[in-house]
Amino acid sequence: MKALDELTFDNRFARLGDAFSTHVLPEPLDAPRLVVASEAAMALLDLDPAVAETPVFAELFGGHKLWAEAEPRAMIYSGHQFGGYTPQLGDGRGLLLGEVYNQAGEHWDLHLKGAGMTPYSRMGDGRAVLRSSIREFLASEALHALGIPSSRALCVIGSDTPVWREKQERGAMVLRMAHSHIRFGHFEYFYYTKKPEQQAQLAEHVLNLHYPECREQPEPYLAMFREIVERNAELIAKWQAYGFCHGVMNTDNMSILGITFDFGPFAFLDDFDAHFICNHSDHEGRYSFSNQVPIGQWNLSALAQALTPFISVDALKEALGLYLPLYQANYLDLMRRRLGLTIAEDDDQQLVERLLKLMQNSGVDYTLFFRRLGDESAALAVARLRDDFVDLAGFDAWAEQYKARVERDGEFSQEQRRARMHAVNPLYILRNYLAQNAIVAAESGDYSEVRRLHAVLSKPFEEQAGMGQYAQRPPDWGKHLEISCSS
């Protein structure tokens, strides 16, 4: 266990130089205080959890203090936003403080979001509000606990600093962690500004740090791109299987590591709705729930375009061709598990699609359906779940198909079935209304609800005593919350 001043830094991205990032110091928040910290994330830095409660913790992550070895930098990138190219973005309010390595030899980028203005702030104030910082914190840690790759969050620091959005709010900072903060948009920036040398430097950096095994391949850059395609196909399969809607899949929000990255108006589905749009400024539904699959490919194509100086177009196209079949195989595999099935059959895709159509028509709760399906034998569970469906004949036909399918799958005791299904079907997910309750309390200075919700979501598959209220469908007021896109 380490104290805060014992972190070991190595700032390899900063050393790439001023063509890649700009030195900027954090702008401190007034009266910084701990809102919530993740013990699990602290453990990744070997930090003693007790240090979160010390004043120096809030000072460090509220922008007042810095380690002598930290080299805070605002990164430069660009990206396609809602389909159109924006030539220059960059960290407008976040700073890469440095790369810390832990005792296991892993490197973690420490990124302070809401740290004040940078040369890339454009019209923004460089700040993040408490509400969006809490949402990013809860989502990243909850996704990780579900087994969905994501950036992590160490803590949220609240403050008295006034920040103006639709109304006056308070500034906050979230300390984000990831093995890399490099986005598709980093490659696009150097491609569109026609800087092949820096583009190559960036590609070498990513290859050396994050895809060293690709060096062994005859075409290392191509092998790396293939790996990025694969990781994204796997990631988006998980989003779709667990009902996560990212909301702003611009290429500047896509990580080259294939992790969930940059949280805005995201949502987990309550009722199953393939057409769900969580971002209220997304009028055309470009980033609707079901569009995440083709958009994943669109974004990879944008990255492929930026890699044309290094890889032949034919090879890039071939690698892009891996995306959909891989997505489909991963998604089906996850859905089979969610249904409690252990072997694959040809009709499985149809079984899943029929179920989702029925859920869509009846507005069935996506998370609770699968959880309850595992509570009992297939026959008892479908008999009980039947009441949630409007199209009873349709559901009965599906239930017959499902029961026969379960029968063919093999002989398992009900204990085995439950254990297997509950291990992949969460009881608790980050519903928008739960986040909203925690935010309302936190905005009035009570952080206990954020902390409790974080604790519940850190063990989403485990039923926790006294936490039944976190495993309910939303109340009427919480069903279609308009989550502000401002953050």
Encoded tokens for 76 = 């430069």
Q: Which long-range contacts (CB under 8 A, 24 or more apart) does 342-345 make?
A: 342/409, 342/410, 342/420, 343/409, 343/410, 345/405, 345/408
Q: Closest CB to ligand AMP among 91 and 234?
A: 91
Minimal distance in Å, beta carbon 324 to ligand AMP? 26
* CA–CA distance, 150 with 163 (Å, rounded to integer): 27
Q: H helices of 347-413, where?
A: 348-362, 366-373, 378-385, 392-409
Minimal distance in Å, beta carbon 450 to ligand AMP? 21
Tell me the three state secondary structure of residue 23: strand
121 binds ligand AMP (CB under 6 A): yes
First to last CA, the chain: 34
Encoded tokens for 69 = 């070895």
Kindly determine how many residues on this chain lie close enough to bind ligand AMP according to the rule CB under 6 A: 15
Considering only 98, 126, 220, 374, the residue that binds ligand AMP (CB under 6 A) is 126
Q: Closest CB to Mg ion among 199 and 253?
A: 253
89 binds ligand AMP (CB under 6 A): yes
460 binds ligand AMP (CB under 6 A): no
Please report, as residue ranges, which positions from 261 to 290 form the binding site for Mg ion (by CB under 5 A). Answer: 262
The number of C-alpha atoms within 13 Å of 35 and in the hemisphere containing its C-beta is 40
Q: Closest CB to ligand AMP among 177 and 382?
A: 177
From ligand AMP, Mg ion, none, interface partner of 126 (C-beta below 5 to 8 A by class) = ligand AMP
Minimal distance in Å, beta carbon 32 to Mg ion? 24
* CA–CA distance, 353 with 102 (Å, rounded to integer): 44
Encoded tokens for 416 = 């085995």
478 binds ligand AMP (CB under 6 A): no
Q: Closest CB to Mg ion among 55 and 124?
A: 124
Please report, as residue ranges, which positions from 244 to 263 form the binding site for Mg ion (by CB under 5 A). Answer: 253, 262
Give 260's contacts (C-beta < 8 A, 6+ positions apart). Answer: 139, 140, 143, 148, 149, 150, 151, 235, 239, 244, 246
Considering only 264, 265, 340, 460, the residue that binds ligand AMP (CB under 6 A) is 264
127 binds ligand AMP (CB under 6 A): yes
Interface characters, 312-351, with ligand AMP (x: CB under 6 A)? ----------------------------------------
Minimal distance in Å, beta carbon 102 to ligand AMP? 27
Q: Closest CB to ligand AMP among 92 and 149?
A: 92
* CA–CA distance, 477 with 413 (Å, rounded to integer): 41
Q: Closest CB to ligand AMP among 131 and 417?
A: 131
92 binds ligand AMP (CB under 6 A): yes
Stretch that binds ligand AMP, among 62-70, 124-132, 413-421, 431-439 (CB under 6 A): 124-132
Please check whether residue 169 is in contact with residue 127, taking contact to mean a CB–CB distance below 8 angstroms. Answer: no
Interface characters, 425-464, with Mg ion (x: CB under 5 A)? ----------------------------------------
Please check whether residue 62 is in contact with residue 28, taking contact to mean a CB–CB distance below 8 angstroms. Answer: yes
The number of C-alpha atoms within 13 Å of 121 and in the hemisphere containing its C-beta is 17
Interface characters, 231-260, with ligand AMP (x: CB under 6 A)? -----------------x----x-------
- From the candidates 91, 252, 282, 365, give the one annotated as an active-site residue: 252
* One-character DSSP codes across 285-313: -TT-TTTHHHHHHHHHHHHHHHTTTTS-H
From Mg ion, ligand AMP, none, interface partner of 124 (C-beta below 5 to 8 A by class) = ligand AMP
Minimal distance in Å, beta carbon 150 to ligand AMP? 15
Minimal distance in Å, beta carbon 262 to ligand AMP? 5
Q: Closest CB to ligand AMP among 125 and 348?
A: 125
CB atoms closer than 10 angstroms to residue 51: 17
Phi-psi region at 285: left, alpha or beta (left = phi > 0; alpha = psi -120 to 50):
left
Encoded tokens for 425 = 């079907």
Considering only 125, 376, 388, 396, the residue that binds ligand AMP (CB under 6 A) is 125
Please check whether residue 231 is in contact with residue 258, taking contact to mean a CB–CB distance below 8 angstroms. Answer: yes
* CA–CA distance, 458 with 198 (Å, rounded to integer): 40
Q: Closest CB to ligand AMP among 135 and 371?
A: 135
Residue type, 14: A
88 binds ligand AMP (CB under 6 A): no
Query: Would you call 160 a catalytic residue per the annotation?
Result: no
- Residue 134's closest CA among 446, 407, 406? 446
Please check whether residue 83 is in contact with residue 286, taking contact to mean a CB–CB distance below 8 angstroms. Answer: yes
In the complex, the residues that contact Mg ion under the rule CB under 5 A are 253, 262
In the complex, the residues that contact ligand AMP under the rule CB under 6 A are 89-93, 120-121, 124-127, 248, 253, 262, 264
Active site residues: 252
